[in-house]
Amino acid sequence: MRDRYALAWYATGAALARTGDEMAGPALLLAGLAATGSSATASALLAASTAAAAVAGPVLGALLDRSARPERLLAGALAGYATCLVAVLVCLGRAPAAVPLVIAAVSGPLAPALSGGWTAQLPRVAAPAALPRATALDAMTFHMAALAGPALVAGAAMSYGSGPAVLTAAALLALAATAVPRPSAAAPAPPASGTPTPPGRLATDIGDGFRALVRTPVLGRVTAASVVSCAGQGVLVACTPLLGQRYLGGAGYGALLLAVLAASALAANALLARLTGQPAPESVFRAATLLQGAALLFAAAAGHPAPLVAAAVLAGLGEGPQLTALFAVRHREAPPRLRAQVFTTGASLKTSGFALGAAVAGPLADASLPGALLTAGAVQLLAVAVSAPAGRSRTGRSTAPRPPRAPGGRTRGTPGPADTPVHRPAPARPRPPGRSSYRDADGAP
């Protein structure tokens, strides 16, 4: 019962924190536009916080790994994030434009606490046997937040204005700070050193985290593929207003496609969590990414609302299990002392990939909307290729180095010239009665 309570507490806090984060971006955009009348200033607020999050993720992860009480650091990050949102709202229209931009940039390094930093604490909450199901539940909170966050922003902004929308996001983040993950008795985490970290030692830990991503084959492949896949997702999100305008009757209706995608991803993860025999996460990741690529290619060919909505459903069916599989690989492959850093670094890299895809999508969509969607589908297929295991040739035969040849002939079972016989012991020959031999079973003296 205590284990279930700890997991429920974890999921509740994660849902609150991630919903507040999903609200923060759109709410800041609306508040910046309402206060300054400039779309450039509004988008600059979001860009400032996103860029800072991409840079500071590894540092936050290293601090979480070295903290004896990481839940306190998470609570402080959430409280700081909420405070920065309120400060940006207060300064908009009342201070020079650079002031809210700087505050938004300060809030950026705290954002990875909501994604990678929070998920890295899951082994402290769930027992090893329950970790796959708990990972699926954790991934579901992302899609719940993606579904609820924009809807709450729209409701608050339409009813009360953009300011209350920002305050609602800050309130959810502050409430989540009181529900940070608490260790379970079934899954105690090894205590960290808890000692102050010299700058040089912190830099070494950050380097160790990057080396763990690069030198662990499965972790490196899946991380790189997730970054590439996020670039394709960024292209899709940037295209949704144009899709809504062209096929659904208005640019604002493009958000409905994101809601359909999030609902489909949530349903897929709910089904995945109920499976008794969990498939290998690497296989799930590749299949889910391939499904997203097929959905985007289908969306590029769609000329009617119904096929477009169907493509969004297919993309969600791939996006949900993909995120679950990514978390499962990280939990399995990340070194325990670097787990938080692996998660926050991976989240930061994905943020960078998403931002790059969204930036490229603008010129592509202006030139050709189907061409932009085809590009997004091709990027997802590239992510499938990046995630494929190495050491295979085109024929499917292993290209790994062969073992060295045994003395006296080639290795058993490997091809070779006819004049290099396989070294194989000959069967023992019966000795004639009454006669001794000084030769062994191979006939050698």
Answer whether 23's CB lies under 8 Å from 153's CB.
yes
Give me the torsion for CA of 432, 433, 436, 437, rounded to 10°: 20
82-120 as b/e: b if 16+ CB within 10 A: bbbbbbbbebbeeeebeebbebbbbbbbbbbbbbbbbbb
Please report, as a single letter, which amino acid is at residue 191.
Answer: P
Under the banding of pLDDT at 50, 70 and 90, the label for residue 290 is: very high
> What is the C-alpha to C-alpha distance for residues 286 and 292, in angstroms, rounded to an integer?
10
* Residue 129 DSSP one-character state: G
Percentage of residues in the chain having pLDDT higher than 70: 79
Sign for the CA dihedral angle at 94, 95, 101, 106 comes to: negative
- Specify the pLDDT at position 41: 72
What is the mean pLDDT of the segment spanning 252-278?
81
> What is the C-alpha to C-alpha distance for residues 113 and 120, in angstroms, rounded to an integer?
9
Torsion angles phi and psi, residue 128, rounded to 5? -55, -40
Q: Is 323 exposed, middle or buried (0-12, 13-18, 19+ CB in 10 A)?
A: buried
- Residue 149: CB atoms within 10 A of its CB come to 23
Give yes or no for residue 70 having a pLDDT over 90.
Answer: no
What is the mean pLDDT of the segment spanning 398-421?
47
Q: Is 395 exposed, middle or buried (0-12, 13-18, 19+ CB in 10 A)?
A: exposed
392 SS3 class? strand
Using left for φ > 0, alpha for ψ between -120 and 50, and beta otherwise, residue 402 falls in: beta
Contacts of 23 (CB under 8 A, 6+ apart): 149, 150, 152, 153, 165, 168, 169, 172
Under the banding of pLDDT at 50, 70 and 90, the label for residue 440 is: very low
Contacts of 392 (CB under 8 A, 6+ apart): 398, 399
pTM, full prediction: 0.70
Q: At what angle do helices 39-66 and 70-91 cross, to 10 degrees?
A: 160
Q: Which residue has the higher pLDDT, 187 or 386?
A: 386
How many helices and strands, by DSSP H and E, does the chain display? Answer: 14, 0
Give yes or no for residue 171 having a pLDDT over 90.
Answer: yes
- Encode pLDDT of 197-235 as tens digits: 454 576 776 777 778 788 888 999 999 999 999 999 988
- Specify the pLDDT at position 175: 93
Among the ranges given (46-50, 330-334, 412-416), the one the predictor scored with the smallest mean pLDDT = 412-416
- State the residue for tokens 């019966």: 430
- Residue 45: CB atoms within 10 A of its CB come to 25
Torsion angles phi and psi, residue 410, rounded to 5? -80, 165
Among the ranges given (102-106, 261-265, 307-311, 391-395), the one the predictor scored with the smallest mean pLDDT = 391-395
Q: Highest-confidence range of 62-76, 126-140, 171-185, 364-378, by mean pLDDT?
A: 364-378
What is the mean pLDDT of the segment spanning 366-394?
85
Tell me which H or E stretch contains 383: helix 369-387
- Specify the pLDDT at position 314: 95
The two tokens of residue 302 are 């769609």
Sign for the CA dihedral angle at 306, 308, 309, 310 comes to: positive
410 SS3 class? strand
C-alpha separations of 193 from 197, 212, 334 in Å = 10, 20, 19
Give yes or no for residue 445 having a pLDDT over 70.
Answer: no
Q: Which residue has the higher pLDDT, 42 or 288?
A: 288
Task: Domains for the chain: give ranges and CATH numbers.
Answer: 1-130+140-184 (1.20.1250), 207-389 (1.20.1250.20)
37 SS3 class? coil
* DSSP assignment of 342-368: HHHHHHHHHHHHHHHHHHHHHHHHHH-
Tell me which H or E stretch contains 224: helix 217-243
- Three-state helix/strand/coil letters over 160-217: CCHHHHHHHHHHHHHHHHHHCCCCCCCCCCCCCCCCCCCHHHHHHHHHHHHHHHHHCH
